Amino acid sequence: MDGFSRNRAALAEAGVGYILAASVDTGEKAREVADGLDFPVAEGVTREQAAALDSWWEDRRSIIQPSEFVLDREGRVVTSTYSSGPIGRMDAEDVAKLVAFHERRKREATKA
């Protein structure tokens, strides 16, 4: 997640208006997860919330595996990733490029 903080300027330049993360952790552990990040980290994600996102819930550790979404200005999902383990997370630089691409396409469509 710290990649999103490190690339905050590029993300903003591309048109990213908001970044939010969420964790199953609560209290002090949640604060450790959020430490050093410059965007909010919600805490206490439940199994029911994971199910609503269609995310993979790991019973053994009672955690949600990475589920990431890029939304457009209207709140529609532009792209998403779901993982069943620690591999397969979105890269902040790739997200900036994707958002810039969509913004460019939107501008070109309004010119036509």
Q: Are strands 21-22 and 57-58 parallel, antiparallel or unpaired?
A: unpaired
* Number of domains, the chain: 1
Strands 57-58 and 41-42: unpaired
- 23 DSSP 8-state letter: -
* Residue 21 DSSP SS3: strand
Q: Supply the pLDDT for residue 112.
A: 72
Is the pTM above the cut of 0.75?
Answer: yes
For residue 67, list its beta bridge partners.
82
DSSP 87: S
pLDDT at res. 58: 92
Digit-by-digit pLDDT tens for the chain (112 residues) are 899 999 999 999 999 999 999 999 999 999 998 999 999 999 999 999 999 999 999 999 999 999 999 999 899 999 999 998 878 899 999 999 999 999 999 899 988 7
Q: Is 57 helix (H, G, I), strand (E, B) or coil?
A: strand
- CATH number for the domain spanning 20: value is 3.40.30.10
Structural domain span for residue 41:
2-111
